[in-house]
Amino acid sequence: MQIEMQWADQGAIGVLHVPPAVTNLTRGTDYEFIRSGERLALPIALGLGLILAGLTDAHLILSGDKTAWKESWGALLDAPMGEPLGTA
């Protein structure tokens, strides 16, 4: 599960990148409406990404423009990459 942070006209956004394995695991649940490529306000994208990663035991990867992350949310730290996108 990946959230790509970006800036848009409306402010900080997150683009959801949902691996097929996660999509398959959410079929028939309340979360099957969440699709890859959706562009949402960053806090909403973060919340949905966290929910999907937690429900499916997928890695949650934040990528993109780090300046979109609000300092008031705490430090955003670099970490080694986990499994490649699409394997969890």
Give the pLDDT band (50/70/90) at residue 87.
Answer: very low
Q: What is the pLDDT at residue 31? A: 87
Dihedral, 33, 2, 70, 11 alpha carbons, nearest 10: -60
84 lies in some domain: no
Please check the confidence at residue 48 and state whether its pLDDT lies above 60. yes
86 lies in some domain: no
pTM (2 d.p.): 0.84
82 lies in some domain: no
Domain tally, the chain: 1
Q: What is the domain range of residue 26?
A: 2-71
Give the pLDDT band (50/70/90) at residue 82.
Answer: low
Among residues 51, 44, 56, 46, the alpha carbon closest in space to that of 83 is found at 56
